[in-house]
Structure 1
Amino acid sequence: MTHLSVVGCGNMGGALLQGLARSGDHTLVGCDIDADARAAVADYCETTDDLAVAAEADYVVLAVKPDTVSDILPALDLEGDQTLISIAAGVSIDYLDDLTDAKIVRLMPNLNAETRNMAAAVTGAVDDTVRALLDEVGEYAEIEESQMDIATAVNGSGPAFVFYLIGAMADAGVDSGLDEKQAETLAAQTFKGAAETVLQSEKSIDELIDAVCSPGGTTIEGMELLWDSDVEADVGAAVHAAEDRSREMAAEFADE
């Protein structure tokens, strides 16, 4: 049984607590000074506003805004046999290392952790316990720290981009007569099923597209329009805009 605390019970910290609580195999603590944030996770874990209580855990997730890390992490006063898992965007391992004696893991998760469908990028002192925790809440990739900015964009910001695309498909359904709930269900489930197919199939993305497109059929008509459009470039530009902002944030901390 892993003793894990989450400091910062906002959207992402709360999603991790909710996802990990489903197994019932861990001692979980949520720490936040905001009473509403604590109340939001009270069904999944013990809650506290005391950093000293959170610091008793073997694994401490730092899920706070980057500009508060320099105040909160020294106050936790973690020791060398503990592991800090930081999800503070743009805050490097070197920066964190100056503030704590703990082993350091950098994690970029996403909100899908609450449904155990998270995509995460991780680097640093990743041990088998960290891997097991991540396995419980989704899929993950171990990467180099130099790749964290693009990972932040692809899987960290990515859910918002996917939500946007689901909304666009659902709106098209509504325009042609489906009610809003029907259209949203069909669009969202289609994305869910397509994503699972990508993960489980040995075929490439292009091969999977070809498998759906019958000559002279409906899908090829839509794909021809997409291939002739700027959609691929626009989606790529959105990802790179998020990547650039992550890089800017990292540079701000490096200059401190």
Structure 2
Amino acid sequence: MVHVSIIGTGNMGGALVKGLARGGDHRVTAIDADPDALDAIDEHSEATSTDLTAAQDSPVVVLAVKPDTVAVVLEELDLSGDQTLVTIAAGVSTDFVSARTDATVVRIMPNLAAETGDMAAAVTQGELTDDIRELLDDVGEFVEIDEDLMDISTAVNGSGPAFVFYLIGAMKEAGIEGGLDPEQAETLAAQTFKGAAETVLRDDRSVDELIDAVCSPGGTTIEGMKVLRGSDVEAKVIEAVLAAEQRSEEIAEEFHDD
């Protein structure tokens, strides 16, 4: 059972703490300057601390703080070359972090579904150890990418859950307008997205082929698809992802060392 220290237990750090606890293969020490944040995940952690030195004995340390806090934390965090530091801060490059620690650095972009074991994550290629692979497998799926693709990954799988929540909300509202009560509509909409996503991941057919499989000639689905295909909804989704990518690039510019 690998000992993991997670520094920063906000939304993403907290999701990782809960997801790893749920998986049962890791011992987690949660570290945060805010005692209230630690209280929120206390039952999911083996230990909690407000002191960064609590991470010194962990073979794997996850840095789950905001980008503008990374440099400050790294100044105080004393890790050895035998440890691996996993950083999840948007826009903060591996080189920026590596220059400030002796630990081996792995950069990932996870998302909040780590809490339920359904995370999608992108990982930079290069220093991916078995311990990190096992950690990521414990909370979801991951792909290995070149670091220059991390901004678009941040937009697709990092920001993506918010875009999907928005679409679920729209389908929920349609159900309510049709007479379903809010709880019924939310369950049907959310489970439909979950099932459709699993189908895409497990089925050999393309997304377009799967759409065709649902669209029986003269049926209900094809009428709805006519509306979607006649609108600019696809363009707007792409625009939203590219806007998130651009913001990730802007953040990255702030962390370029001279």
Q: Taking structure 1 as the reference length, what is the TM-score of the superposition? A: 0.98
1:88 matched to which residue of 2? 89
Q: Deviations over 1:5-60 (max 9, x none)?
A: 00000010010010111132222100001011000110111110010012321100
Counterpart mapping for 1:50-129 below 5 A: 50-123=51-124, 124-129=126-131
**Within 5 Å, which residues of 2 pair with 1:219-230?**
219-230=221-232
Of 113, 123, 133, 1:131 maps to 133
- Give the match for residue 237 of structure 1: 239
Q: Which amino acid aligns with 1:238?
A: A
Q: Which runs of 5+ in 2 are unaligned?
A: none
Hey, what does 1:17 align to over in structure 2?
Answer: 17
Alignment of 1:40-51 (within 5 A): 40-45=40-45, 46-51=47-52
Higher mean Cα deviation, 143-152 or 52-61?
Answer: 52-61
- Could you list the per-position Cα deviations for residues 179-228 of structure 1 after superposition, in whole angstroms to 9, with x for gaps in the alignment? 00000000000000000000000000000000000011000000011011
Which runs of 4 or more aligned residues in structure 1 lie more than 6 Å from their structure 2 counterparts after TM superposition? none
Letter in 1 for 2:116: T
1:255 is displaced (CA, Å) by: 5.4
How many residues of Structure 1 are paired with residues of Structure 2 in the alignment? Answer: 256
Greater shift, 233-242 or 49-58, is seen at 49-58
Aligned mates of 1:55, 1:74 — CA distance in 2: 14
Match of 1:159 in 2: 161
Please give the per-residue CA displacement for 1:127-184, whole angstroms capped at 9, x wherever unaligned: 1111111111111001010000000000000000000000000000101111000000
The aligned amino acid for 2:7 is V
Secondary structure at 2:102 match in 1 = coil
Name the counterpart of 1:146: 148
Q: Distance in 1 between matches of 2:220 and 2:70?
A: 52
Write the distance in 2 (CA, Å) between the matches of 1:126 and 1:196.
Answer: 26
Range 54-63 or range 217-226, more displaced = 54-63
1:125, distance to aligned residue in structure 2 (A) = 1.3
Q: Which of 161, 171, 174 is the matching residue for 1:172?
A: 174
Question: What is residue 210 of structure 1 aligned with on the other side?
Answer: 212
Question: d(CA) in 2 for partners of 1:94 and 1:140?
Answer: 21
SS of match in other structure, 1:253: coil
TM-score (norm 2): 0.97
**What CA distance in whole angstroms lies between the structure 2 residues aligned with 1:166 and 1:147?**
27
Aligned to 1:28: 28
2:23 is paired with a residue whose SS is coil
The amino acid that maps onto 1:109 is P
Partners of 1:244 and 1:93 lie apart in 2 by: 19
* Letter of the 1:60 counterpart: V
Task: Tell me the distance in 1 between the aligned counterparts of 2:76 and 2:64.
Answer: 15
Query: Deviation at 1:230?
Result: 0.2
Aligned sequence identity (%): 64
